[in-house]
Amino acid sequence: MNVLVAGGTGFIGQYLCEELHERGHDVTALAREPDPDDVPEGVETAMGDVTAYDSMEGAFEGKDTVVNLVALSPLFEPKGGNEMHEKIHTGGTKNCVRAAEEHGVDRFVQMSGLGADPDGPTHYLRSKGRAEGVVRDSDVDWTIFRPSVVFGDGAEFVEFTLKLTPPVLAPLPGGGKTRFQPLYVEDLVPMLADAAEDDEHVGEIYETGGPEVLTLAEVAELARRARGQSVRVLPVPMALAGVGLTVAGSIPGFPLGRDQYRSLQVDNTTDHNDVDAFGYDEDDLTTLAEYLDVTPVI
C-alpha cells in the first residue's frame, strides 16, 4: 500500500511512519519543512503546507491511504493567535480531503481528539470538531480517532506538566483535578496502522485512551517522582484562573494563553474506550507509571 502521512515528521507521525514501513508499506511523510532525519530510514518525505492547496496536493498522487496528523498543540498558544486552529485543523483538513478526493485516494484516517465538538469550549476543540464534520461529509472512506493525551519519547505532555508544576508547590486550577487517560504512543500507532489497512474500520469514530484515569495533579506527581522530586498541588479557584495564567505566562518560553488554560479544565477521558475494536484489552496497555518506571499513584 502507498501511504501518505500528513504530519509524519511530528511526535506520533514518526512512530506511525515506522510502524507502516515495518508492515511493508511505501510511506511518505508530508510536512512544511520535512527533514529526512526526522523520519525512519526508508520513509520518503514531501514538502507541503496543508493550508496552501497547491503546495501539497501533488503529494496525494498515487496514494492508496492518507493519515492526517497535522495539528497545532492544544497546550501552547499558536503564533498568529487562536485563529490558527481554524486555519490548520479545519482549513487544512478541507484541503487534505479535497486532495484525497481529486487524486482518487480510497482511505482517509483523521486524527482528532477527545471532546472535539464545533460547540466545544476551546478553539482547539471547536476546530477539531469542524474538521471531523469535513471528513464525515466527504466521499472518502474515513476513520476518525479521538485519543486522550499521548505519552512516549518525544511527547510534550509530561514535559509540559513539569513546566506547569514546579517542584514542592504547584498552583493548578481546581487543584489539578482535571482527568486524563494517557495513552502510550506505541500502543496507539498499531491501531492507526490497522485503521489505515482494514476496511472494517471505515465509518467508525474511535475514542481511545490508556488503561487508567489520572488527574493532572497525579500526572505531575508521577513526572516529579521520575525525577526523584515531589510536588504538592495547590488548588486555585476558577475565579483566580487569571492569576495562574499570569504565573504561567511569566515563565519564559511558555506561551500558555487563556484558551490553553481553559483546556486544562476540561476532562479528557473516554466514555467507552474503543481500544477493544483493535483487539486490545485496556489492561494490556502501558501505564504512565510503567513508562516512567516509577511506583504508581494509589
DSSP β-bridge partners for residue 168: 231
Of 95 and 165, which CB lies nearer to ligand NAP in the complex structure?
95
Of 118 and 167, which CB lies nearer to ligand NAP in the complex structure?
118
CA distances from 28 to 32, 38, 270 (A): 13, 12, 31
Of 138 and 171, which CB lies nearer to ligand NAP in the complex structure?
138
71 is a contact residue toward ligand NAP (CB under 6 A): yes
φ, ψ for residue 252, nearest 5 deg: -60, 140
288 is a contact residue toward ligand NAP (CB under 6 A): no
Of 167 and 280, which CB lies nearer to ligand NAP in the complex structure?
280
- Rounded to whole angstroms, the Cα distance separating 146 from 209 reads 9
- Given a contact cutoff of 8 angstroms between Cβ atoms, the answer to whether 172 and 216 are in contact is yes
Pairing of strands 141-147, 150-151: unpaired
**Applying CB under 6 A, which of residues 88, 100, 144, 189 lies at the interface with ligand NAP?**
88
Site pattern 157..196 for ligand NAP (x: CB under 6 A): x---------------------------------------
Residue nearest to ligand NAP (CB): 10
Residue 67 Cβ, how far from ligand NAP at the closest point, in Å? 9
Size of site (CB under 6 A) for ligand NAP? 25
- Rounded to whole angstroms, the Cα distance separating 120 from 208 reads 19
- Rounded to whole angstroms, the Cα distance separating 207 from 217 reads 23
12 is a contact residue toward ligand NAP (CB under 6 A): yes
- Given a contact cutoff of 8 angstroms between Cβ atoms, the answer to whether 274 and 208 are in contact is yes
236 is a contact residue toward ligand NAP (CB under 6 A): no
Q: How many CB atoms lie within 10 A of CB 241?
A: 17
Per CB under 6 A, residues contacting ligand NAP are: 7, 9-13, 31-33, 49-51, 69-71, 73, 88, 92, 111, 113, 147, 149-150, 155, 157
